A and B are shown apart, each in its own frame.
Chain A
Amino acid sequence: MEIEIDGKVAQVPDGSTIMDAAQQVGVYIPHFCYHKKLSIAANCRMCLVQVEKAPKPLPACATPVTNGMKVFTHSELAIKAQKGVMEFLLINHPLDCPICDQGGECQLQDLAVGYGGGASRFQEDKRVVFHKDVGPLISMQEMARCIHCTRCVRFGQEIAGVMELGMASRNMHSEITTFVGRSVDSELSGNMIDLCPVGALTSRPFRYSARSWELARRKSISPHDSVGANLALQIKNNVVMRVLPRDNEEVNECWISDKERFSYEALNSPARLAKPRVRVDGVLREVAWNVALDYVSHALQDVVTGSGGESLAALASPQATLEELHLLQKLIRGLGSGSLDFRPRRRDFSADGKLAGVPWLGLRLSEIKDLDAALVIGSFLRKDHPLFAQRLRQLSKKWGKVSLLSVSGDDQLLRLHAQLTVSPADLPRALAAVVKAAALLKGAVVPAGLETVEPCAVSQAIASSLVAGDKRAIFLGNVAEQSPQAALLHALAIELARLTGASCGFIGDGANSVGGHVAKALPTALNAYEMFAQPRKAYVLLGVEPELDCHNPQQAVAALKAADLVVMLTPFADGSAPDYADVLLPIAPFSETSGSFVNCEGRVQSFGGVVRPFGDSRPAWKVLRVLGNLLALAGFDQESSEQVRDEIVPPGTEFVSGLDNRLAALPLELAGSSGGLQRVADVPIHFADLLVRRAPALQQTRDAAAPTARMNGQTLSALGITDGVLVRVRQGAGEALLAARVDETTPPACVRVAAAHGSTAALGDMFGAINVERA
């Protein structure tokens, strides 16, 4: 189709709108309700333009182009229509931009300058709209400013997958609201603040803390999950005041999740560690950096000399940067230890050494939209990976058949083709059933070990979705990676991929879950579990809080308490660290250091520090480098984080090489069904890492509610317990007191007890037998 807009010729595909064509030729048409990611509402009427031969102005956002169409966006007719609409929008809108939180970044304000009239011809009282309390993240205090564009409503329905806001009533009394007094709980809710073109929906934590023009905008990358959302951090006086998404269609599109938007509060937390601390006479005392580093290097040297390299172990967070992980592994190996890992929540490491390459997603994020079918294995999808889930949601709304095989039936707010919810112990058997069903469908030999497996109707439905169509994918989620049978699940998934022709990969639980492999922060001796199961004399911890981040926090804390030396590199002084750490070295979180994350698709994303490190804290890569120097190890002479990165990936790398999920043959041995209660452990979204844990607004959301012991009604009554009573939950020597809750999404004979929270830190493994009795 060829069309002319203000004399500029555009070629656009059939079905495009005038707005699409205008954007292509760089003509700006004013608009409010139109948004490229949302359905067309055409309700604001700001985009009215003149079309040759049309008697009336037409909305550019909704009018399909026809061949040879001539459009005038600035003709007298168009301008008159636009000005008319602007006048209508302003008659009931408070004209007090100087006191509005949106002032300076308001689309209405911007356009009013161009299209607004002078004095108002409207002399009646303006509409009064009641404010609403919808939770800690979004402020709806100023609803009189709403211009009824319904972007927020459409966002909920179409992107978040849950309609929490609606436009109630009618006529000029229409108002955006939640259902009587409800809060907005979607993990993607903050995007509505960005979408709101005026100051009606604003950020509650940010509100009135700065004016937009006082803020500098710096690029960054989200440290929270494996998508690697592109962020813009907004700074005032060296403080991160707000976080917004940066558009990157390939990665996060234009969205970020609430944890990415609001976790910045932790960066400014009073719990930040300002100076190094060293335990002297049992008390952690502030010392100067040179003293602390001197102490650490001598202490490490002493342990190694006295007890051998293997008496030292190091554990890093999968959120550590590529550079940090690289230097850490160099340091530990240089000291003669191979006990080092960055996967604290793992339990089964039997795939290590059998991997053909770096495990990754198996395809690009942007390829998800073209899939015909997808199977997600072992995941609390929405809460583990909000943006990844959002992509699958869009896919499921089109043609894609998305199936979920997991340990809880939580509503993923996407249209699932099939869902199978089983006890964590039965996950391999359930997956094996899908594998066998696929083999039968394909007329292929049933893999050895699966003879006794009986595919049910659901596993057959999943298998048949995976054998049809062009592009299909299998994704292993966090639960699959954390499972004590992780390698078996991996092997089964590979087998399923081989049989069906689907891709297979890992979603990954951290910003650097791929990067850690690239940086080789992997054990050659004890892994993340063994290093605590077989206590060491000394530990180096980088950005982890073992009491919350480990597969078995109880075991980890016991080992740490018994160790002679625990060196902790952390931005925070609070938490349980003072119970076991001998040295606290204040390091810079992602906002204060340069570094790189390799996201789940292998994309290398480097970022710079956007503010000066807090207090005396320093970028961790520098700390590690100096320690390397003090310990006289070779290869610690980098001047910049870029130099460190270049040692790992060649300069200019966009995607790392060597991505490969294949696995050397592993016997497919299915365990018999285990009796008794099994633990289902999710890592709730706002407990998942050390930043979100310390973000006050996030901690007030429903997602941050204290853990309970959730069981389905049958399990609960079999235990003689009723909803709401206090129960004693026991795992090995550890126990916790929790409220029991009926939750029909929990599989039979299972108890869902969240990990990563202080109230459950005394428990053992995230998987396995668990005991529940009335307290």
Chain B
Amino acid sequence: MAILGAINPMLSVGLDGDNAWRLADYVKRDGYSSLRRILESGIGQGDVINEVKKSVLRGRGGAGFPTGLKWSFMPRSFPGDKYVVCNSDEGEPGTFKDRDILRYNPHAVIEGMAIAAFAMGATRGYNYIHGEVWEIYQRFEEALDEARAAGFLGRNILGSGFDFDLFAHHGYGAYICGEETALLESIEGKKGQPRFKPPFPASFGLYGKPTTINNTETFASVPYIINMGGESYLEAGKPNNGGTKLFSVSGHVNRPGNYEVPLGTPFAALLEMAGGMRGGRKLKGCIPGGSSAPVVPGPTMMDCTMDYDSISKAGSMLGSGAVIVMDETTCMVRALERLSYFYYEESCGQCTPCREGTSWLYKVVHRIEHGNGRADDLDLLASVTTNIMGRTICALGDAASMPVQSFIKHFRDEFAYHIENRKCLVPVDVQRAGSGFFTATA
């Protein structure tokens, strides 16, 4: 089974059996009925966008921007190609939901993209797939072949006169290509360096043409929205937070994996579904929306519900829905060091505050972790993060800064202990035991 648990599932319904991803199975699950209905019953482009607006589907890639609104930014009459692009470059540490969607339900993404293309008058699309999940890329290519052969893609889809060609493009190891304009540069055959905005992709996107980019899960939700109607979709979640969402739960839980639950589900319930804390240990902290989201201390987290608004109130972000669970065996300095290394390594290198700032942050956290911290290092880190945040071309600068700020904010004592005593507050063997590497079996 693909998705380890679900409450009122949509995306993960019926995903059992090895071949559930095949076209025939998808069609059995009512697949492509939304597209068919739109094309055959003459539903207009505006109607589709309206339905998505009503659903209050918020982008599942991280920023949570309302999808219907984004679609309405595309110029209606544009001479020449328009593009829809799917962002399956899932590289945000903690996030692994798009991989499972593509692995078990790729046709939902294809159908969602075709509907989006129809609604926005796009004729070509690309799905940009994270390079590290090569089997997924190959499977998606196969799914595309199936869809083309069945007439769901290509010229004159289902005899409606609507043309839409969709292709897969693979990444090759660059987190930054998840940022939408870096992703476009990458499809254009360049380094993945984000573009300055404005102009936004809706006016100047792929090859300079109007382009809409959405996350895999966002597109995959579209057929369900059309099928059940925007309002029902919204009701499946909670106000301003439409629908269900996949949460990738990782870290110190008994059953790490993806769980589909309605937005607004209590964190405690999600934790429960994931088998609870490993070894019954206590939740020390949790990053609720992928590594770029601020860390939330355990007790606060236990009071949250899993939706954009509640998590935001707790001082963090729902982001991509990646829930990284950390118990008491975690050294917070070491955890931050690893994240800071990630942002330093993955900075595209183009803009000054990020290129220089991320390496500076890493070097300082590194020296704290390695017992060479200085008394004023925490102030220095705070100051460097404020010099990065809001001053970079893309949000990676912010993404690198927020963990630093939040880890220090919530676990300042542990950092101070480290600086003073030149070692971890959590003994190294306790940390190692916490990973379970040498004790667990597959």
Query: What does the 1/0 interface line of B352-363 toward A look like (CB < 8 Å)?
Result: 110111111001
Is A130 interfacial (CB 8 A cutoff)?
Answer: no
A residues within 8 A CB of B353? 45, 84-85, 88
Q: Are B174 and A43 in contact (CB under 8 A)?
A: no
Task: Give the docked Cα–Cα distance between A591 and B198 (Å).
Answer: 48
Q: Are B360 and A91 in contact (CB under 8 A)?
A: yes
Is B393 interfacial (CB 8 A cutoff)?
Answer: yes
Is A261 interfacial (CB 8 A cutoff)?
Answer: no
A residues within 8 A CB of B356? 88-89, 91-92, 172
Q: Are B391 and A85 in contact (CB under 8 A)?
A: yes
Select from chain A the residue with minimum beta-carbon distance to B364.
A124
Select from chain B the residue with minimum beta-carbon distance to A48.
B391
A residues within 8 A CB of B392? 45
Q: Closest approach, in angstroms, between the C-beta of A325 and any C-beta of chain B?
A: 51
* Partner among B198, B355, B387 whose Cβ is within 8 Å of the Cβ of A172: B355
Q: Are A87 and B387 in contact (CB under 8 A)?
A: yes
Task: Give the docked Cα–Cα distance between A40 and B197 (Å).
Answer: 11
Task: Give the docked Cα–Cα distance between A148 and B347 (Å).
Answer: 14
Is B259 interfacial (CB 8 A cutoff)?
Answer: no
Q: Are A40 and B355 in contact (CB under 8 A)?
A: no
A residues within 8 A CB of B347? 170-172
Query: What does the 1/0 interface line of B373-407 toward A look like (CB < 8 Å)?
Result: 00000001001001100111100000000000000
Q: Are B380 and A121 in contact (CB under 8 A)?
A: yes
B residues within 8 A CB of A48? 391
Select from chain A the residue with minimum beta-carbon distance to B359.
A172
* Partner among B191, B383, B390, B393 whose Cβ is within 8 Å of the Cβ of A57: B390
Task: Give the docked Cα–Cα distance between A185 and B347 (Å).
Answer: 31
Select from chain A the residue with minimum beta-carbon distance to B343.
A171
Label chain A's interface by main secondary structure. loop
A88 and B387 in contact, given A124-B363, A172-B355 (Cβ under 8 angstroms) = yes
Task: Give the docked Cα–Cα distance between A248 and B176 (Å).
Answer: 41
B residues within 8 A CB of A43? 350-352, 393
Select from chain A the residue with minimum beta-carbon distance to B376.
A121
Q: Are B355 and A148 in contact (CB under 8 A)?
A: yes
Task: Give the docked Cα–Cα distance between A171 and B196 (Å).
Answer: 17
A residues within 8 A CB of B390? 55-57
A42 and B196 in contact, given A84-B353, A88-B352 (Cβ under 8 angstroms) = yes
Within 8 A of B (CB), among A20-74: 40-46, 48, 55-57, 59, 62, 64
Label chain B's interface by main secondary structure. helix
Q: Are B174 and A59 in contact (CB under 8 A)?
A: no
Q: Are B380 and A81 in contact (CB under 8 A)?
A: no
Is B231 interfacial (CB 8 A cutoff)?
Answer: no
Q: Are B352 and A147 in contact (CB under 8 A)?
A: yes
* Partner among A41, A84, A122, A167 whose Cβ is within 8 Å of the Cβ of B349: A167
The size bracket of the interface on A is: 35 or more
Select from chain A the residue with minimum beta-carbon distance to B192.
A170
Q: Are A148 and B350 in contact (CB under 8 A)?
A: yes
A residues within 8 A CB of B345? 171
Query: What does the 1/0 interface line of A168-198 toward B look like (CB < 8 Å)?
Result: 0111111000000000000000000000000
For B, the interface residue count at a CB cutoff of 8 angstroms equals: 30
Is B120 interfacial (CB 8 A cutoff)?
Answer: no
Task: Give the docked Cα–Cα distance between A42 and B181 (Å).
Answer: 14
Q: Are A148 and B380 in contact (CB under 8 A)?
A: no
Task: Give the docked Cα–Cα distance between A46 and B353 (Å).
Answer: 10
Q: Are B352 and A148 in contact (CB under 8 A)?
A: yes
Task: Give the docked Cα–Cα distance between A55 and B353 (Å).
Answer: 18
Task: Give the docked Cα–Cα distance between A188 and B348 (Å).
Answer: 29
Q: Are B349 and A148 in contact (CB under 8 A)?
A: yes
**Residue among B174, B380, B383, B387 having the largest count of chain A Cβ atoms under 10 Å:** B387
Q: Are B358 and A88 in contact (CB under 8 A)?
A: no
Q: Are A170 and B380 in contact (CB under 8 A)?
A: no
Task: Give the docked Cα–Cα distance between A85 and B358 (Å).
Answer: 13
Q: Are A89 and B198 in contact (CB under 8 A)?
A: no
A residues within 8 A CB of B387? 84-85, 87-88
Q: Are A45 and B346 in contact (CB under 8 A)?
A: no
A residues within 8 A CB of B176? 170
Task: Give the docked Cα–Cα distance between A44 and B393 (Å).
Answer: 10
A residues within 8 A CB of B350? 41, 43, 148, 150, 167, 174
Q: Closest approach, in angstroms, between the C-beta of A737 and any C-beta of chain B?
A: 46
* Partner among A59, A147, A170 whose Cβ is within 8 Å of the Cβ of B191: A170
Task: Give the docked Cα–Cα distance between A87 and B352 (Å).
Answer: 10
A residues within 8 A CB of B174? 170
**Residue among B356, B383, B392 having the largest count of chain A Cβ atoms under 10 Å:** B356
Task: Give the docked Cα–Cα distance between A45 and B387 (Å).
Answer: 11
Q: Closest approach, in angstroms, between the C-beta of A529 and any C-beta of chain B?
A: 53
B residues within 8 A CB of A170? 174, 176, 191, 346-349
A84 and B391 in contact, given A148-B349, A171-B347 (Cβ under 8 angstroms) = yes
A residues within 8 A CB of B247? none
B residues within 8 A CB of A167? 191, 349-350
Select from chain B the residue with minimum beta-carbon distance to A42.
B196
A174 and B349 in contact, given A40-B196, A91-B356, A91-B360 (Cβ under 8 angstroms) = yes
Query: What does the 1/0 interface line of A122-159 toward B look like (CB < 8 Å)?
Result: 10100000000000000000000001101000000000
Q: Closest approach, in angstroms, between the C-beta of B43 and any C-beta of chain A?
A: 37
Is B32 interfacial (CB 8 A cutoff)?
Answer: no
B residues within 8 A CB of A89? 352, 356
Task: Give the docked Cα–Cα distance between A124 and B366 (Å).
Answer: 11
**Residue among B349, B351, B352, B380 having the largest count of chain A Cβ atoms under 10 Å:** B352
Q: Are A174 and B355 in contact (CB under 8 A)?
A: yes
Q: Are A122 and B360 in contact (CB under 8 A)?
A: yes
Is B344 interfacial (CB 8 A cutoff)?
Answer: yes
Q: Closest approach, in angstroms, between the C-beta of B201 and any C-beta of chain A?
A: 16
A residues within 8 A CB of B191? 167, 170
Q: Closest approach, in angstroms, between the C-beta of B397 and any C-beta of chain A?
A: 10
Task: Give the docked Cα–Cα distance between A56 and B386 (Å).
Answer: 11
Task: Give the docked Cα–Cα distance between A91 and B360 (Å).
Answer: 9
Task: Give the docked Cα–Cα distance between A124 and B347 (Å).
Answer: 19
A59 and B349 in contact, given A121-B380, A171-B359, A172-B344 (Cβ under 8 angstroms) = no
A residues within 8 A CB of B351? 42-45
Within 8 A of B (CB), among A380-419: none
B residues within 8 A CB of A171? 344-349, 355, 358-359
Task: Give the docked Cα–Cα distance between A122 and B377 (Å).
Answer: 11
Q: Closest approach, in angstroms, between the C-beta of B414 and any C-beta of chain A?
A: 23
Q: Closest approach, in angstroms, between the C-beta of A764 and any C-beta of chain B?
A: 50
**Residue among B191, B196, B355, B359 having the largest count of chain A Cβ atoms under 10 Å:** B355
Task: Give the docked Cα–Cα distance between A22 and B359 (Å).
Answer: 33
Task: Give the docked Cα–Cα distance between A40 and B204 (Å).
Answer: 15
Task: Give the docked Cα–Cα distance between A276 and B363 (Å).
Answer: 69
Q: Are A56 and B391 in contact (CB under 8 A)?
A: yes
B residues within 8 A CB of A87? 387
Task: Give the docked Cα–Cα distance between A44 and B346 (Å).
Answer: 18
Task: Give the docked Cα–Cα distance between A167 and B380 (Å).
Answer: 30
Task: Give the docked Cα–Cα distance between A91 and B355 (Å).
Answer: 11
Select from chain B the residue with minimum beta-carbon distance to A81.
B391
Task: Give the docked Cα–Cα distance between A92 and B356 (Å).
Answer: 8
Q: Closest approach, in angstroms, between the C-beta of B335 and any C-beta of chain A?
A: 21
A59 and B196 in contact, given A121-B380, A171-B347 (Cβ under 8 angstroms) = yes
Task: Give the docked Cα–Cα distance between A147 and B357 (Å).
Answer: 14
A85 and B360 in contact, given A55-B390, A59-B196 (Cβ under 8 angstroms) = no
| Interface set of A (CB-CB < 8 Å, partner B) | 40-46, 48, 55-57, 59, 62, 64, 81, 84-85, 87-89, 91-92, 121-122, 124, 147-148, 150, 167, 169-174
Q: A85-B387, A124-B360 are in contact. List 7 more A-B contacts (CB 8 A).
A: A121-B380, A150-B350, A171-B347, A171-B349, A171-B355, A171-B359, A174-B355
For this complex, 22 residue pairs linking A to B, each with C-beta atoms less than 8 Å apart, are: A42-B393, A45-B351, A45-B391, A56-B391, A57-B391, A81-B391, A84-B353, A84-B387, A84-B391, A85-B387, A87-B387, A88-B352, A88-B353, A88-B387, A91-B356, A91-B360, A124-B360, A148-B352, A171-B344, A171-B348, A172-B349, A172-B356
| Interface set of B (CB-CB < 8 Å, partner A) | 174, 176, 191, 196, 198, 344-353, 355-360, 363, 380, 383, 386-387, 390-393
